[in-house]
Amino acid sequence: MKQFDIPSIFRSPIISKVKAFRKSQDPRKKDFSPTVLDFGNVQLFIARHFGFCYGVENAIEIAYRAVEENAGKRIFLLSQMIHNPTVNADLTQHGIRFIQDTSGKQLIPWEELNPDDMVIIPAFGTTLEIEQILTNRGVSTEKYDTTCPFVEKVWNRAEKLGTENHTLVIHGKYDHEETRATFSHAALNAEAVIVKNMEEAAFLAKCITGEASKEEFYHFFKGKHTLNFDPEIHLSKIGVINQTTMLASETQKIAEFLKTVTEEFAARSKVNKTVADTRDTLCYATSDNQSATEALMNEPLDYAIVVGGYNSSNTSHLVELLEQGCPVYFIKDETEIVDMETIRSFNRHTHEVETIKNWMRGGKVGITSGASCPDSIIDLVITKVLRLANGQRSIDEVINDLN
């Protein structure tokens, strides 16, 4: 796999050695069990896969190259490069300004842009409407387009399905940048509707079978379907694609559920309704990280720490998985670990950071992070946990044992 040139501040002396060791032992990535670092009174269970993925490293390399190649010019990002506060803060310190926030709210008017400005498209991609705005302003984006190749793969699959007259069911969060971009690209060639979870897919199934009316469809999916969508017409031939950071297992479950419902209804009613096989749109990195997290759940953990941006979809899904087995603390970096008694953890349900007392209980600790989290931050988290827990062995000693 390609090696990217990313700033050294995001690299890691500890985790890099752990990952190198696991790669040497398991080059084909067949073993998803965690790496155990034994510090005597503390055992750290490090997930097999986590941290920067191909798409994130590609985006970071391009963004910093844009800074190096355009000294003296104004450089903008359409929105956050990735959902990690450390990375985005560093880009800001390098002079990059954000045109929109993650929800699409305008921070800098389009009218301020001119053809001499450099605009970077983030890893999530962008909508065709925004691309047209930039074109009309004379702003070129081709050179510094950091759209993840796996997001583009979904768009290409959507285009093919659309040309084959499929309606697209997009499994994603409607307000997420990637889903907004995918919806825009999908709508160019097909009708489309967005479902967030299995519950929304279940309602869509009622629309497929006619149990829910056209009016109920429009009410339930208001603002989440293409303008000319007619459920009585456009649910006869569908294909499921996804926001690449969703739970891969949930996307598959939704696709299989809709396929079963559609085929059974078609056979029973003697109508022509079909569902395309779209499993090839799942992102390998998202899938690997989630599989590694599921393997982490098999360990006797006293608690787990998940590190990443609080608005990171893929990170929140790792928290969702781990919550099924043990207490989980969702932190953006090591500064949220206050001391042995106190930690600040993001609650994905209330979307608030909570102060939790008496959190450091037991010595078996699971650690993982989202695909947009630098390994250097994991190093800092590990170091702080071991310092507070008074680990009986040094980090160097334990890491050397891996060799």
Helix (H) / strand (E) containing 76: strand 75-77
The pLDDT of residue 249 is 87
Q: Which two tokens stand for residue 73?
A: 């010019």
Question: Could you report the per-residue pLDDT of 357-402, keeping only the tens digit for each?
Answer: 999 989 999 999 999 999 999 999 999 999 999 999 999 999 998 8
| Fold of the domain built from segment(s) 8-53+285-400 | Cobalt-precorrin-4 Transmethylase; domain 1 (3.40.1010)
Q: Which two tokens stand for residue 25?
A: 């032992």
- Cα–Cα distance between 143 and 365 in angstroms, integer? 43
How high is the mean pLDDT of the chain? Answer: 94
Would you tell me how many other CB atoms lie within 10 Å of the CB of residue 218?
14
Question: Could you report the per-residue pLDDT of 98-121, keeping only the tens digit for each?
Answer: 999 998 999 999 999 999 999 999
* Percent of the chain surpassing pLDDT 70: 99
- Cα–Cα distance between 161 and 398 in angstroms, integer? 51
User: Model pTM?
Assistant: 0.91
Question: Could you report the per-residue pLDDT of 130-145, keeping only the tens digit for each?
Answer: 999 999 999 999 999 9
The pLDDT of residue 279 is 67
- Cα–Cα distance between 51 and 12 in angstroms, integer? 11
Average confidence (pLDDT) over 12-26: 94
Domain ranges across the chain: 8-53+285-400, 54-136, 150-282
Q: Does residue 178 carry a catalytic annotation?
A: yes
- Where residue 276 falls among pLDDT bands split at 50, 70, 90? confident
Cα separations (Å) of 298 from 47, 182, 246? 11, 35, 22
The domains spanning 8-53+285-400 and 54-136 adopt the same CATH topology: no
Q: Which two tokens stand for residue 68?
A: 């190096």
> Helix (H, G, I), strand (E, B), or coil: what is residue 160?
helix
Would you tell me how many other CB atoms lie within 10 Å of the CB of residue 388?
16
Q: Please list, residue by residue across 347-382, b when 16 or more beta carbons sit within 10 angstroms of its beta carbon and e when fewer do.
A: ebeeeeeeeeeebbeebbbbbbbbbbbbbbbbbbbb
- Cα–Cα distance between 394 and 90 in angstroms, integer? 31
The pLDDT of residue 381 is 98
- Cα–Cα distance between 164 and 190 in angstroms, integer? 9
Residue 274 scores a pLDDT above 80: no
Q: How many residues does the chain have?
A: 403
CATH number of 54-136: 3.40.50.11270
CATH number of 150-282: 3.40.1010.20
Question: Could you report the per-residue pLDDT of 311-345, keeping only the tens digit for each?
Answer: 999 999 999 999 999 999 999 999 999 999 999 99
Question: Could you report the per-residue pLDDT of 146-176, keeping only the tens digit for each?
Answer: 999 999 999 999 999 999 999 999 999 999 9
Average confidence (pLDDT) over 202-208: 97
Residue 403 scores a pLDDT above 80: no
- Where residue 2 falls among pLDDT bands split at 50, 70, 90? confident
Residue 273 scores a pLDDT above 80: no
Question: Could you report the per-residue pLDDT of 45-81, keeping only the tens digit for each?
Answer: 999 999 999 999 999 999 999 999 999 999 999 999 8
Which residues does residue 35 pair with via DSSP β-bridges, in sequence order?
46
**Which member of 177, 178, 191, 250 is catalytic?**
178
Helix (H) / strand (E) containing 367: strand 364-369
Q: Which two tokens stand for residue 125?
A: 């991609």
- Cα–Cα distance between 333 and 376 in angstroms, integer? 10
Question: Could you report the per-residue pLDDT of 219-245, keeping only the tens digit for each?
Answer: 999 999 999 999 999 999 999 999 999
The pLDDT of residue 280 is 61
Q: Which two tokens stand for residue 151?
A: 């997001």
- Where residue 269 falls among pLDDT bands split at 50, 70, 90? confident
The pLDDT of residue 268 is 86
